[in-house]
Structure 1
Amino acid sequence: MYRIGVDVGGTNTDAAILDINALDNESRGVLATCKTATTSHVTLGIQTVVKEVLGRSKVDRSKVLNLAIGTTHFVNAIVENDARRLSRVAVIPPFSDFPYALRELVEGPTFYLDGGLEIDGREISSLNPDQIKGAATAIAQAGIEYVAVIGVFSALDQHGLHEERCKALLQESEPKLSVVCSGQIGGTGLLARENATILNAAILGFARRTIKGFRLATSKLDLACPLYLTQNDGTLTDAAVAAELPIKTFASGPTNSLMGAAFLQGLGHGDRMLSDKQVVVVDIGGTTTDVCSLLPSGFPRQAPNFVEVGGVRTAFSMPEVLSIGLGGGSRVRVSDNDGTVSVGPDSVAHRLTSDAMIFGGSVLTSTDIVVAAGSTEIGDPDKVKSVPSKLIAGARADIKRQLERAIDRMKVSSAPVSVLLVGGGSIILTDELDGVEECLRPPHHDSANAVGAAIAKVAGEIDIIEILADRDENVATNAAKKAAIDAAVAGGADESDVKIVEVKKIPLQYVTNKATRFVMKAVGSLKVRDSPDPNTLPNGTLHRELDPDDEFQSEASKAEGNIAQKGSMAKPTLGIDIATYRPNVKDSVWYISPIDVILIASGAGVLGTGGGGSPYHMALYTLDVLRKGDPGRMRIVPVESLKDEDVCVFGSGYGAPSVSDERVGAGTDIFAAIDTVNGIMGIKDFQGIVADEIGGGNGIVTFPTSARYDRPVVDCDLMGRAYPTLEHGTPYVYGQPVLPFAIADCKGNASVVVTADSNKRIETLIRQTCVELGNSAGAAGRPLSGEVIKKYAIPNTVSQAWYLGRAVHLARQSKIDFIDAIASITPVKQLYTGKVIDVIRDVSRGYTMGRCIIAPLSADEEADIIPSSARLSDGYQSRETRYLAIPFQNEYLSAGFISPSEYHKNPAVAEEEEMVCTVPDLISILGSDGEALGSPDLRYGLKVRVIGMPAHPLWSGSAEALRVGGPEFFELETEWKSVGEYKKPRSVIEEFNVVSF
């Protein structure tokens, strides 16, 4: 019995045929392999390589159990913005963060329909069949064939009551519509799931045609076996399923190599893994090297949170692969300045056999170097005899350095590393790697990608939310495991071989019903079935249904002269020189631009200190409002411009971040809350809008509010950061009234607290109402006078967010240290540089408490996150050997050193031996790109830098302020520890103001 694997890459197409009864022998059952250049004609390319391996192996074609194909065709269409392969998509709802060029290609009409679920499973509203049928008619009249349906909390909708019913109604009305439901694509997080669903719908027509070509190729080879495609996680999916969910195959190329490497080395899928070591696969091709860590399950480690495809943030499972510009065709250069030798990142790629010196060309490549060094015999070695030995040594050293750094970046622990080296370009490594215990080249390593496709197993994965209140968690867990196993069996796995390989239980924040996200994956070997009818093609298609002379034409031949539309992928800040950009400030009024929104969002993330909600989502909402409305309505004025009698209102998002990420609001809930309070108080007009907190998404929500009411945002806020409760507004700490306080949703429900015996009681009452409203709502407190705002608000914090965001973006653009850039505009202390090694979360109190542990980096790891200019500066501090502990209640509460030995004795109770910073001072954790990480984003292995910034004196100006904003409120057994003296932030309005004459 035999299996054939094919990997269709951008440069080469590989094939391998395996004898499944000889998988344990020295050759791992590989009977033959073949590599050929990828052709634009899909059918011919596959036919060529499969025909070759069948001929070499001389096997009985009737005993071929299956053909598995991995391809980059679908993801390339997205990345290349190829109009020939992408379709316009009608969406329910829109294209919030698509790059401009891609959006222009795929954007179709958008419809908002009734439906969706709350976090506790209740309906937000019932489906409206007439509304859905009306949308179907409008879509068809617009000439759109492909539709994406996205429902709120579709991960809860296990029975398809909303998305699937909506799909059925759309197709009942217009049978020609092809509908993709988001519940089939990803888990929680509406925006990323929506994006992935749109991309899937956009590529759907091309995927169906491509897979039809794969089937035709199989038919012409007289193979009657089932056809499968490999998925992002290294498992198989039936071709019919892949034709409907092509997005799940986007990363199959790198994954095939990873899985093939583990198999060829004899590690299998967890049965022979090196339990005391970590395994890193290094796949060196002609242009790039892909590096990925293997989990004990034998599958690649998956990327966290989200993955960007073609500039679009998506939420489907993909391996975490680091790609560097190093391969067999990499160009080798010598610097004119200092004689430094560099290899890559550019490459001659598929022109290696014509451009490289050993083949008579004029370009010195990495392959020429290894031939010149006498390490391998390829081409004509005489043609590289003149290459100087110093140049050879320098190139080898650079290859070694690049690979060592890449492997180090992908390590997940300090355990010994075993490297599996595969790929046709792996010959360029001729030296031992530091930090690597063993470097293994498995048999057939140059065809690991095709082998990976041939041996791929079948997976069943579920990503659902379960309500655990009043339920046995073990029962729910076992039910989820069974559902994953059933899904694997339904996909073709052998029931006797299926095992659970991944279990994730992620509690959602600030919910009282113990809503928990379950992610379960089961994997099993493909079931060996009886030989199918030789007259039947894969998936039940009969030979006679296809005309044998009907070649599947490539998209290029069907395009009739159409060319790929490779427009700009730019988002607002890309392509802009941040150093010379000037905001539009006239007569002391700052008019907000899209660039300002992005910069403020980055800065609000830093000021969010781990909480405050997603600034990214709110920035997208703000950009949409800005694009559709009058830009002059969205503006900022200095706090000093307020008159004492002026009235300022507040509006913010309130609830659980995990819910607001899924139940993305339309903004009307905040307007409803403001209008409710104003109505009660008889306020007909107001002069300014002030943010409750500048940190996170609530630091930006004021801008759409400004556009809605045509009133300016005041350059200040009531916290100077983010805090978890409404008690933490500075005016309220100093005795100013909070009530009446309103909370509202987008359905017209509103509740008001008029009297309460304490601010703490107000928070309790509002929190309970928020749960009833679905744990995501708009909130507004009593408007305050200009006199109170000038006295008790934290000034210039919108400007501070702008300057912080500008510093981060400028540092990335100028390749300077972002801590130095931040320090140039505000007092900041670097508390730690390290790697997250533990994140403990506890939701027993109804909200998320947690603790993050960060360990020191090695010198090489520091090079990945700290520019050399900063490490060589006189002020650079030597590395700290102790660990840093950061407890959080969404927001980060303190930072203190702990002894590594004490931590490893008992991680849960290891106490800080030295406190370096506590609330109310600000603690932010920044990623390697300078962007702030919220507490939900923390995970093992992230390389981070921790900074502290001093709080405004209002937080230390009284015992009550320090009690509410300091360690005591959060039950920290420590005194306030400040990182320095506060300095009033600079004003954008003052610096860039242009006065009219």
Structure 2
Amino acid sequence: MALTIKPRHLRIGVDVGGTNTDGVILDPLERPGSCILAWHKSATTANPSAGIKKTIETMSTLATITPDQVASVTIGTTHFVNAVVERDASRLSKVAVIRLSGPFSKHAPPCVDWPDDMREIVLGHYALVKGGLEVDGELISDIDEDEIIAQCQEIQTRGIKSVVVNGIFSPIDMVERQEERAAEIIRRELPGCDVVLSKEVANLGFLERENAAILNASILAFAKKTIRSFQTGVRQLGIQCPVFISQNDGTVLSGDLAARLPIKTFSSGPTNSMRGAAFLIQGQGESEGSSGQPMLVVDIGGTTTDVGFLLPNGFPRQQAAYSDLAGVRMNFSCPDIKSIGLGGGSLVRQGDTLTIGPDSVGYRLTQESVVFGGDTLTTTDCAMLANPSLNVGKAELVQGALKEDHLVQFKALVAQKIEKIIDTMKTSPDDLPVILVGGGSIIAPDQLKGASKVLKPQWSQVANAIGAAIARVSAVVDTIRSTEARTAKQWLEEISKEAEEKTVMAGASRESVKVVEVETLPLQYVANKTRFIVRAAGDFDFSRVTTNTIPETVETDEALVETEDAKPKSQPPRLSREQEPIVDIATYKPDVRNRVWYVGEADLSWISTGCYILGTGGGGSPYPHMILLRQLLRAGSVVRVVSPTDVNDDAAVGCGGGAGSPTVSIEKLQGDEMMEAQNELYKICETPATHMIALEIGGGNGLQGLTLGASTNMDLPCVDGDWMGRAYPTKWQTTPVVFNERQPIWSPICIADGNGNVVVMPKASSDRQVERIMRAALSNMGSQVAAAEPPVTGAEMKRWVVDNTISQAWRIGRAVARARQENRIDTVAETIIEECGGSTAGRVLFKGKIVGVERTLRMGHVYGECIIEGTDVADQTDTTSSSQFTGRIKIPFKNENIAAIRISRGGQHEKGLLEKQEDVLAIVPDLICVIDAQNGEAIGTPEYRYGLLVMVIGLAASDKWTGSARGLEIGGPKAFGFDHLKYEPLGTFTKPVSVIDEYDTSSSA
């Protein structure tokens, strides 16, 4: 007997793409195999609202349903992201930014790292005012209402209608509510103005969260009009149900919330396909991802194949910490999708060997493909030739289009391409189910290596619309809590309840809500502080949602909605996260005159990249420091570097750097604390500095010598060298302490927090005591300070320094930039080794994929280990290479990487089992550097996560560390608790080649 359809329970899903608009009507009361009452696929119309209306109308007729049976309409759209990618000034509004940052972030203004044309279109005004929190929730300063009112008057004068409020550590601000209070003032002073709170858009990461909030604010007016037009079209069909918009993480937003947070819809298309695929296979007797088994979804369109990883909780795996859109770096949640140029319209060429793509006929498939009467051979033609039962076009038209041996090659090549990309997405060698969806899935084989089964479900061509129809509600709590009085487990229980309650408030029914994702991240150098990220999800409670339409404004909608181009426009190239200057790397020469290197923007970008790689996983990202120094260069500042050999013996070489948690440094951007610490130190130091040097070349501190020495700061040349040759977790792990010629070296010392607090220590009993006292003060100064160390003589510097490390960072960064420019990331690890002295000075230790990460907090330091599975990490379109690395290694770390150790094939060693000497590939003080195989950038230990493809390189440490028993005691295995292992060098240290020696123009005169 047919199931009687109950009123108001059907779900409609519509996905509006650049080429096609797909729709489904779904009955959730039916079994998955028979729940699709109707589906429709048509070309996207110039007016997407009209296209949505027509699609729903067509499906309603096919399914013979009435409007009162529909419980929800969910729409996925690329409309908003296209406006940003296309830099469409007609759809992007000017934005004002008010930062609640007190004395911090002044050197990195809003949109500082944006492409110039995007900044010109979007940024209308900004102001830095009082406000902001420390990592422990203490006030940097309270907001000042008068300050904000004054800025409102300026914003009104400029005619700006969208305002972003961004406060330091606002995502953890549950008590002071500074962003909310500032927004209340703005709305009172500027009635009708759109106000975006950064904490509602993204999480920790000040610049990246602000960038996302600005883009969100810029598109608000357009989003309101667009979503209102969607709602109106649905209402005109007589359907009086809520209209939802699907978002990036596989859940949905109500129409009014999507109109406030349109950025959360930017990557909804791939996510809809993944969720729809998982739902569809239930009809084939399979269970959905939420039952506990991860799955891979392969979506094959006309031009590309997109692969995503569906987690056991039923949601897509998300990208790493940062994403990039139209050259803007952000940190909002996006699905982790990898793509290759393989689709149903990919061109097939016959020669000595057969090749496929990456170019495609795309949406012209039905006009140009041979099987449809055209003259262009495509993968669809070859698939029909291999299997005429596919019933696409006219099979007789492709007879004889391929030689028999080429047909065999075609099948093998398609399989290899898909197998390679699915392997890059897996987190273990185990076979996983693979679900094929998309109109181009007919070209894929029924069996794939690495797949436990290959599923091609019915209705897969509209999986994206199905994903929209079944989407759920979710909410995330990302916060930092103290574990001094309460355990992490106790906090997780409370935060999980908070996430569940937040999900209910977002519209979910209370009985359906469950926690689906939990992550705990102890903070480096911050005692008893842990970051908790908890996500909950549930089904919509339709009894509580409203059907209100977004109110109309005085502006008309037509200009922004009705004239939208139906076909996708060409996208501008995405820029790297540093916005690298465009230079001819092969011919570029740094500006070196009279043995002084004048650092330019290209040099700075490369040095920054190299510093993070030399950080061996620690030191914090140099990115915010690079932005600050680049601003100084653009303002006319001169930055000089000199060789250690050119420094007079009686010179005074000063030093300064940051100390604290990298988590704090990405949120509380540097103010004037570096110069403040130096100024206060020299009030008690009799000898003024004549030069500056970096404390450590690894990480963010690698740029501090350059910054302090800039002509607009101390106006001193920076020595091409440092006191570590890498990064280490403590100040006493420096080469001057190794030489021990005077004790202590780092006294007197001064630290400043940038907020009016300065600590000066005139003397100390030892360098270890300096470290202990400084760390104690650090915890009460916001967990981040600038430190100024007393100068040493030029003669001492030349004995203690690790020479030419700025040059080394420059060469490493140049190698990475060249590899990206020439599309040779697959060999970037080998190139870096070559730049650092060749095979005698280092080697590639391993290439593979991170399959496990553990972290614990002890004495303020984050300890842990990273497990890497050997695999081929080369370009996934290259099907000829195979991996030379097999098995697994583990990398234990204490903020920085300690060792690379081969482990048993079965997985991690049992707890407490000691490593064997013969398993050690490299160990401190040698440098173990983990590099992202997709872009050549360093990956810091806080960024380690499942699934990242990585290369691991080992570099021989400076002989300043390895040349004495004291050096090995301070910087070797015993210093990190590996007393049972003996240091055995992986190579012979090669002194980095000086940029000054190579490029000095005076030397050739």
TM-score (normalised: structure 1): 0.92
Q: 1:986 aligns with which of 976, 993, 998?
A: 993
Quick one: distance in 1 between partners of 2:165 and 2:660? 26
| Deviation at residue 304 of structure 1 after TM alignment | 2.1
Tell me which amino acid in the other structure corresponds to 1:460.
Answer: A
- Residue matched to 1:611: 618
Tell me which amino acid in the other structure corresponds to 1:538.
Answer: T
Q: 2:939 aligns with which of 933, 936, 944?
A: 933
Structure 1 stretches of 4+ with a deviation exceeding 6 A read 267-271, 865-869
| Deviation at residue 341 of structure 1 after TM alignment | 2.0
Are residues 1:353 and 2:356 paired? no
- Residue matched to 2:377: 364
The 5-angstrom pairing of residues 728-747 of structure 1 reads 728-734=733-739, 735-736=741-742, 737-747=745-755
| Deviation at residue 312 of structure 1 after TM alignment | 2.0
| Deviation at residue 644 of structure 1 after TM alignment | 1.5
- Residue matched to 2:795: 787
| Deviation at residue 783 of structure 1 after TM alignment | 1.1
- Alpha carbons of structure 1 residues 807 and 139: separation in structure 2 relative to 1, 3 Å: same
SS of match in other structure, 1:777: strand
- Alpha carbons of structure 1 residues 214 and 884: separation in structure 2 relative to 1, 3 Å: same
Quick one: distance in 2 between partners of 1:217 and 1:952? 69
- Residue matched to 1:539: 548
Answer whether contact 1:34 1:49 (CA < 8 A) is retained.
Answer: yes
Are residues 1:952 and 2:967 paired? no
Quick one: distance in 1 between partners of 2:525 and 2:557? 57
Answer whether contact 1:297 1:501 (CA < 8 A) is retained.
Answer: yes
- Residue matched to 1:663: 668
- Residue matched to 1:841: 855
| Deviation at residue 572 of structure 1 after TM alignment | 4.7
The 5-angstrom pairing of residues 769-848 of structure 1 reads 769-816=777-824, 817-826=827-836, 827-848=841-862
Answer whether contact 2:520 2:532 (CA < 8 A) is retained.
Answer: yes
C-alpha deviations, 1:331-358, integer Å up to 9, x for none? 22235xxx22222222222222222222
C-alpha deviations, 1:519-561, integer Å up to 9, x for none? 222211222439x9xxxx932569xx899x98755547499xx
| Deviation at residue 867 of structure 1 after TM alignment | 8.3
Answer whether contact 2:385 2:398 (CA < 8 A) is retained.
Answer: yes
- Alpha carbons of structure 1 residues 791 and 430: separation in structure 2 relative to 1, 3 Å: closer
- Residue matched to 2:683: 679
- Alpha carbons of structure 1 residues 568 and 477: separation in structure 2 relative to 1, 3 Å: closer
Q: 2:731 aligns with which of 726, 731, 735?
A: 726
Quick one: distance in 2 between partners of 1:978 and 1:669? 39
- Residue matched to 2:593: 586
- Residue matched to 1:435: 450
Answer whether contact 2:420 2:876 (CA < 8 A) is retained.
Answer: no
| Deviation at residue 565 of structure 1 after TM alignment | 10
C-alpha deviations, 1:796-848, integer Å up to 9, x for none? 11001101111222233334412331232222222222322222211032211
- Alpha carbons of structure 1 residues 671 and 791: separation in structure 2 relative to 1, 3 Å: same
C-alpha deviations, 1:33-90, integer Å up to 9, x for none? 0011112212211111111111111112112111100111111222222222222222
Quick one: distance in 2 between partners of 1:195 and 1:39? 31
| Deviation at residue 248 of structure 1 after TM alignment | 0.8
SS of match in other structure, 2:54: helix
Are residues 1:751 and 2:764 paired? no
- Alpha carbons of structure 1 residues 797 and 403: separation in structure 2 relative to 1, 3 Å: same
Q: 1:378 aligns with which of 373, 381, 392?
A: 392
Quick one: distance in 2 between partners of 1:136 and 1:283? 48
Quick one: distance in 2 between partners of 1:866 and 1:647? 55
- Residue matched to 2:530: 516
Gaps of 5+ in 1: none
C-alpha deviations, 1:934-975, integer Å up to 9, x for none? 111112222222222112222133332221122222221222
Quick one: distance in 2 between partners of 1:414 and 1:558? 46
Most deviating of 939-948 and 63-72: 939-948
Are residues 1:506 and 2:521 paired? yes
Answer whether contact 2:222 2:560 (CA < 8 A) is retained.
Answer: no
- Residue matched to 1:916: 921
Are residues 1:82 and 2:88 paired? yes
| Deviation at residue 894 of structure 1 after TM alignment | 2.0
SS of match in other structure, 1:437: strand
Quick one: distance in 2 between partners of 1:896 and 1:625? 43
Are residues 1:255 and 2:267 paired? no
Tell me which amino acid in the other structure corresponds to 1:831.
Answer: L
Are residues 1:465 and 2:480 paired? yes
C-alpha deviations, 1:552-596, integer Å up to 9, x for none? 55547499xxx9996985765364332221111122111111111
Answer whether contact 1:670 1:778 (CA < 8 A) is retained.
Answer: yes
Q: 2:461 aligns with which of 431, 446, 452?
A: 446
| Deviation at residue 472 of structure 1 after TM alignment | 4.6
Q: 2:769 aligns with which of 745, 761, 778?
A: 761
SS of match in other structure, 1:510: coil
Tell me which amino acid in the other structure corresponds to 2:436.
Answer: L
- Alpha carbons of structure 1 residues 171 and 931: separation in structure 2 relative to 1, 3 Å: same
- Alpha carbons of structure 1 residues 144 and 306: separation in structure 2 relative to 1, 3 Å: same
Q: Percent identity?
A: 40
The 5-angstrom pairing of residues 19-58 of structure 1 reads 19-22=27-30, 24=31, 26-27=33-34, 29-58=35-64
Answer whether contact 1:898 1:913 (CA < 8 A) is retained.
Answer: no
Quick one: distance in 1 between partners of 2:562 and 2:242? 28
Are residues 1:68 and 2:77 paired? no
Quick one: distance in 2 between partners of 1:947 and 1:347? 38
Most deviating of 150-159 and 692-701: 150-159
Quick one: distance in 2 between partners of 1:495 and 1:907? 40
Gaps of 5+ in 2: 1-8, 100-109
Quick one: distance in 1 between partners of 2:573 and 2:738? 52
- Alpha carbons of structure 1 residues 55 and 764: separation in structure 2 relative to 1, 3 Å: same
- Alpha carbons of structure 1 residues 385 and 290: separation in structure 2 relative to 1, 3 Å: same
Answer whether contact 1:233 1:252 (CA < 8 A) is retained.
Answer: yes
- Alpha carbons of structure 1 residues 832 and 232: separation in structure 2 relative to 1, 3 Å: same
Quick one: distance in 2 between partners of 1:334 and 1:104? 48
- Residue matched to 2:105: none
| Deviation at residue 439 of structure 1 after TM alignment | 0.8
SS of match in other structure, 1:516: strand
CA-based RMSD of the aligned residues comes to: 2.6
Are residues 1:215 and 2:231 paired? yes
Answer whether contact 2:698 2:725 (CA < 8 A) is retained.
Answer: yes
| Deviation at residue 776 of structure 1 after TM alignment | 0.9
C-alpha deviations, 1:337-393, integer Å up to 9, x for none? xx2222222222222222222233232222222223324222233332241234443
- Residue matched to 1:699: 702
SS of match in other structure, 1:520: strand
Most deviating of 917-926 and 777-786: 917-926
Are residues 1:455 and 2:444 paired? no
SS of match in other structure, 2:858: coil
For these two proteins, the number of residue pairs brought into alignment is: 966
Tell me which amino acid in the other structure corresponds to 1:594.
Answer: E
Tell me which amino acid in the other structure corresponds to 1:693.
Answer: E
| Deviation at residue 863 of structure 1 after TM alignment | 4.0
Quick one: distance in 2 between partners of 1:529 and 1:866? 49
TM-score (normalised: structure 2): 0.92
C-alpha deviations, 1:253-299, integer Å up to 9, x for none? 11111111111111899975496854111111122221111111111
Most deviating of 360-369 and 38-47: 360-369
C-alpha deviations, 1:871-896, integer Å up to 9, x for none? 79xxxx95354x32322111112222
- Alpha carbons of structure 1 residues 905 and 472: separation in structure 2 relative to 1, 3 Å: closer
Quick one: distance in 2 between partners of 1:88 and 1:272? 44
The 5-angstrom pairing of residues 309-348 of structure 1 reads 309-335=325-351, 339-348=352-361
Tell me which amino acid in the other structure corresponds to 1:478.
Answer: E
Answer whether contact 2:85 2:571 (CA < 8 A) is retained.
Answer: no
The 5-angstrom pairing of residues 871-882 of structure 1 reads 878-881=884-887
Most deviating of 156-165 and 59-68: 156-165
| Deviation at residue 311 of structure 1 after TM alignment | 2.5
Q: 2:428 aligns with which of 408, 413, 419?
A: 413
